[in-house]
Amino acid sequence: MHFNGLIFKTIGDFKKKQGKYKDAIKYYKESTKYYRKLKFNFFTAEVLNELGKSHLYCEDLKKARQCFQEAVELSKYSDINKPVQKSYLGLYEIELMKENFKKALEYYKESTEIEKTLINQEKINRIAQLESQNEIEKKNRKQKFWNKKIRNYLLPILNSMKKKQNSQIQ
């Protein structure tokens, strides 16, 4: 079922890129049906944002607002902030179009605060990844060092000891 939601979203994305916003809306609506049934709030919110943008391009601000607000509500129960950030940007655009600059500024601030959090989290994840890679590299270098030591020093000693033993036995 998740696959069906993804197919409809992908077709909606394609239609939106072609500038066929009304067609995109149909596919996005179908996609949200599947994701809602599965209670995939993150994916539902992502598609609602795309649906909201398509309504925005069709200048249906009321439906666009509904989509963005629903996406915000769904995303609040998720640990993933990206859909919320996109929703606030959509709401910001609506308020700009309505020339409600005070409300637009509020939504823009919300969006940028979330974006800062996302960027910081990405940086933290990248630093952790680099530290992990560095530790692995250190262990690999240490292992290579000891392998070389064994090969160059211990093996010749062991071989000579074996030869002595063999010569004493004979």
**pLDDT tens across 140-165, in order?**
888 888 777 666 777 777 777 777 77
CATH number of the domain encompassing residue 27:
1.25.40.10
Is 56 a domain residue? Answer: yes
Which domain range does residue 69 map to?
Answer: 2-118
* The pLDDT value given to residue 59: 92
Give the lowest-confidence range in 34-43, 48-57, 79-88, 99-108.
79-88
Does residue 1 register a pLDDT over 70?
Answer: no
SS3 content of the chain, % helix, strand, coil (to 5): 90, 0, 10
Is 170 a domain residue? Answer: no
Is 73 a domain residue? Answer: yes
- Mean pLDDT score, 59-67: 95
State the pTM of this model: 0.66
CA–CA dist 151, 149 (Å, integer): 5
Is 157 a domain residue? Answer: no
Is 133 a domain residue? Answer: no
Report the domain count for the chain: 1
164 vs 85, more confident = 85
CA–CA dist 167, 78 (Å, integer): 75
Is 150 a domain residue? Answer: no
Is 65 a domain residue? Answer: yes
Is 17 a domain residue? Answer: yes
